[in-house]
Amino acid sequence: MASKVTPISGFQEWLPAQRIAEQYVLDTIREVFELHGFASINTRAVEPVDRLAGQGEDADKEIYGVRRLAAEAGEPTELGLHFDLTVPFSRYVVENAGKLTFPFRRYQIQPAWRGERPQRGRYREFIQADVDIVDTGELPFHYEVELPLVIADVFSRLPVGEYVILVNNRKICEGFYRGLGIEDVVQTLRTIDKLDKIGADGVTKVLGEQGLSAEQIRQCLALAQISSTDTSFADEVRALGVSHPLLDEGLEQLTAIMAVAGELAPGVLRAELKIARGLDYYTGTVYETLLLRQPEYGSICSGGRYDALASDGKRTYPGVGISIGVSRLLGLLIGEEGLTASRETPVAVLVAVNDEAQRTDSMRIATALRTRGINTLVAPKAAKFGKQIQFADRRGIPFVWFPGAGEAGQDQVKDIRSGEQVDADPGSWSPDQQDLRPTLVSPDSVG
C-alpha cells in the first residue's frame, strides 16, 4: 500500500526553474566572496551540544539533537545540528590553527538547522552564506569596515531591490548601560533587541521587571531611538549626557565605519543604535540588513564582531563575520515575488535524432558542442521533427539542431523562438551569450 505524501513545513524545495534561480544567486555570492579574497571551507553538520548551547537566549531551545534510533533509553544526546555557521567555524579555526595562514579569510555556503516554529521567512533547514575574517590575538578594526562593503557588492549584482545595512556597535550600548549604572548589561541588550517585536511599552515593562529605574529605562529607549545615515549619531549620543570609556570607543569605531561607507557605498549603511543581535558572542560592530520595500520581513543579512568565541585556552582568535540568509532572502524573492529563470533546464541546444539508426551521429554532434561549453541534450526519441521541437519548447530550450538537414547535407540549427534556421558547424557555432545559460526573470516589483 502506497503511503500518503505529506509536506513538512520549514523546508524549501524548488521547481527546476526556481532551483536555477537559486543557483544563480549562490554562484553570484560565491564569485563576489572570492573576488574579495575569501577562501572556501566546509564544516561538518554536527557539533557537540555543549558547544552549541548557551550562545544566546533562544539557542538552547532551537538545537536539533542527533542520536541513533536504536539508542538506549537514557543515553545522552551529545551531538546537535549547527544552528549557524559561526560556531562551527570558530571550532574549525581552533582545530586547524597550525595549518591556517592568518589573518584567515573564509567563506562558507552551507545549510543550518533550527528547531523553531516555521513561519514567514524562518525555516527549520536553511542555507547561509558567510564571510569571516579571523586573526590571532588581535583583529584590526578596519575589517569591521570592510565586511558591509562586501555585502553591498553582492547585492549590487542581485535583484534584491533597495536595501539598507543597519549597523551598530555593542560597545556603545554596553558602555552606555554601564555609564547608567546598569549591572546586567547582557539582559538589557537582549531586551532592547526586542524593541521592534514588543514595542517601547513592552520593553519598558520588561526592563522594569529586571530592576531598572524609570530614568534608566528612559535613557535606554532614548539611545535606541537614535538613527542616522552619517556620523551625526555620535553627537546625539553624547547629548544624552552619559559617559564611559567603552562608550567612547564604540562611538569612535562606528563613526569610522559610517565615514568610509559614506564614501565607498553611499546610502547603503545606516547607524541604528537599537540593534544588538541576540547571540551573546558578539562584542563589537553588529549588522542587520533590511529590504526597504518590506522592512517587516526582518533581517536578510546579519553578523558582527566576536572576540572570544574561538579560543583554545592559550590563544584567542577574534573575528568578524557577516551572513546572508540565502533561504530567507529567496523565500521572499522566489517564493512570494516570483523570481525565476528563463527556462527550466540549463540546456541551450537539443540535437534532433533523424532515426534511431543515426542516434550516434546526434551524440557525436552533442559531444562536439559540449566540448566547447554549450549545454546540449540529445532528443530522447526519433519522433517527427515537430514533436522534437515541441519537446524543446516545453522546456524552454531555445535551439534545435538538425543533423544533415541542409540541401548539401550540412547540419542546420533552428532558433525555435524566431523560426530562423541556418547552416551550422558543431565545431564553430555558438549561441548568443544571453542564450548560453538561463537568465533570471525578475518580478516587476523588484526592478
pLDDT at 20 over 90: yes
pLDDT of residue 231: 93
Would the pLDDT of 280 be above 90?
no
Q: What was the pLDDT predicted at 117?
A: 87
pLDDT at 56: 56
Amino acid at 422: V
pLDDT of residue 225: 94
Over 90: is that where the pLDDT of 71 sits?
Answer: no
Measured torsion, CA atoms of residues 398, 400, 401, 405, in degrees rounded to the nearest 10: -130
% helix / strand / coil in the chain, to the nearest 5? 40, 20, 40
Give the three-state DSSP class for 4: coil
Confidence of residue 311 (pLDDT cuts 50, 70, 90): confident
Chain-centre distance for alpha carbon 247: 31
Side chain identity at residue 86, one-letter code:
T
Q: Is the pLDDT of residue 1 over 60?
A: no
Query: Cβ neighbours of residue 408 under 8 Å, at least 6 residues apart?
Result: none
What pLDDT score was predicted for residue 77?
A: 81
> What is the pLDDT at residue 343?
95
Helix (H, G, I), strand (E, B) or coil at 376: strand
The pLDDT of residue 447: 41
Average pLDDT over residues 245-257: 94
Q: Which three cell numbers stand for residue 441?
A: 526573470
Give the rounded percent of residues in the chain with a pLDDT score beyond 70: 96
Strand positions, DSSP E, 91-145: 104-113, 125-134
The one-letter code for the residue type at 33 is F
Q: CA dihedral defined by 242, 189, 218, 224, rounded to 10 degrees?
A: 80
Average pLDDT along the chain: 92
Residue/partner pairs of 41-46 with CB below 8 Å, 24 or more apart: 41/89, 41/92, 41/106, 41/107, 41/108, 42/108, 42/110, 43/82, 43/85, 43/88, 43/89, 43/91, 43/92, 43/108, 43/110, 44/88, 45/81, 45/82, 45/111, 45/113, 46/79, 46/80, 46/81, 46/82
- Residue 337, C-beta contacts closer than 8 angstroms, at least 6 positions apart: 443, 445, 446
More confident site: 190 or 378: 378
- The CATH class, in words, for 349-430 is alpha beta
Amino acid at residue number 166: L
Percent of the chain with pLDDT over 90: 76
Q: Mark the binding-site residues for L-histidine, compressed into ranges.
A: 84-86, 114, 128, 132, 277, 281-282
Predicted TM-score (pTM) above 0.85: yes
